[in-house]
Amino acid sequence: MRFFSGKRYFPRFTLAGVVLAGILVVLLLAAWNTGENLLYIVFSAVLGMFVLSLAAGLRVLQGLTVHRQMPHAVYRNTPFVYTMQIKNTKRFLSSFSLRLESGGDAAGYLLRIPPASTVSFSAQHVLPRRGVYTLPPLEVKSAFPFGFIQYRKAFADPHEILVYPRVVLARTGGVEQSMHTAGPPRLIRGEGDEFFTIREYLPGDDMRTIAWRVTARMGKLMVKETGAGHSRTLVFLLDTRWREQEGADEPFEEMIEVAASLMITLLGRQYSVGFQTPDMKVPPGRGSGQQQRILDGLARITASREPAWRDYDQEVRKLLSEPLRLFLISMNEDLNLAGALHQNVTALNLAEVVYG
């Protein structure tokens, strides 16, 4: 576990500190003009408070280190909890009255950290946009002991966090219906006969793959699924070319969210799923590991400024040599990439992908 030391900033007066400074000036002028010893005594007492505040405040943030434990990834606009640990490395002095802020938002308050001790606590945060984020610096502030001077220290943490697109359950009828109406995928000779698993029957499965003994034992239709060469392998072509128009961010993010929801739902239905963009490839796969690979990739996707998808036809022909189905998801309705190879690539209409 690595703790980070912070960068100290120049102290600044609080409102109470400004008022105190004004009182000091008034007392000093009054003492000079009147020569009253009592005013000098009061001035000395107030000045002593000010000096004590300055000396104590300098020690409060000294010797503090911070560690933040964040999740690898979170979903967009979904609150998540992370852990902060603040360590006081001073041997004899405590740190008092610490206010914590991250990205301008209050993250917590600590009354006291004993010497040579570590305090842990949890905080909640929300990241509103998909992408890869570096955590904003954690600022630790203290106006101890009297609130006249505020001291500030910023702890920069290079930890990155992935923000996944929002994922909801999607109805896969459009994808499955297109699979039924399209011709069978080309199989590679010698592959497709290796047993993979037994799963529940889904509409469109070949009746010849039904495991009748298991079906009788389970009381519901079960099918044998083979490995390579099976038609339940899907690759989604995501057209991430940027469309120059006002408000294009929203449809682009909607396209990514639709793709994420559709692929994760299909993974849950035991499909082998992958995707490809002009700049990124995630080969088809199954299981929770594949789900993380897909979401990691989608979190890192950025819009391509290229006007055309280079070598699109060649990429499609390469994929067609494998036993899989191809689907195109695009927000560019006037630039349908599936046109050149429409008989092999199914273009999905975003409006027809309904969340369930």
Same domain for 49 and 149: yes
Same domain for 151 and 49: yes
Residue 74 DSSP symbol: E
- The β-bridge partners of 86 are 66, 119
Contact 274, 285 (CB under 8 A): yes
65: nearest Cα among 7, 130, 109, 146: 7
Percent of all residues in the chain with a pLDDT value above 90, rounded to a whole number: 9
Structural domain for 204, as ranges? 195-226
Same domain for 256 and 145: no
Same domain for 218 and 144: no
Same domain for 71 and 121: yes
For 205-262, write each residue's pLDDT tens digit: 777 788 888 888 888 888 876 654 446 788 888 888 776 665 557 778 888 998 999 8
- Is the predicted pLDDT of residue 303 greater than 90, yes or no? no
Same domain for 334 and 280: yes
Same domain for 45 and 159: yes
Same domain for 330 and 215: no
pTM over 0.75: no
337 or 301, which is more confident? 301
The confidence band for 333, taking pLDDT boundaries of 50, 70 and 90, is low
Same domain for 97 and 22: yes
Same domain for 206 and 251: no
- Number of compact structural domains in the chain: 3
User: Which pLDDT does position 231 carry in this prediction?
Assistant: 63
Same domain for 158 and 30: yes
For 87-137, write each residue's pLDDT tens digit: 998 888 888 888 888 777 777 888 889 998 999 888 888 888 899 988 788
301: nearest Cα among 331, 269, 343: 331
Same domain for 200 and 57: no
- The β-bridge partners of 93 are none
164: nearest Cα among 333, 49, 301: 301
The domain that holds 316 is classified in CATH as 3.40.50
User: Which pLDDT does position 200 carry in this prediction?
Assistant: 81
User: Which pLDDT does position 187 carry in this prediction?
Assistant: 38
- Is the predicted pLDDT of residue 186 greater than 50, yes or no? no
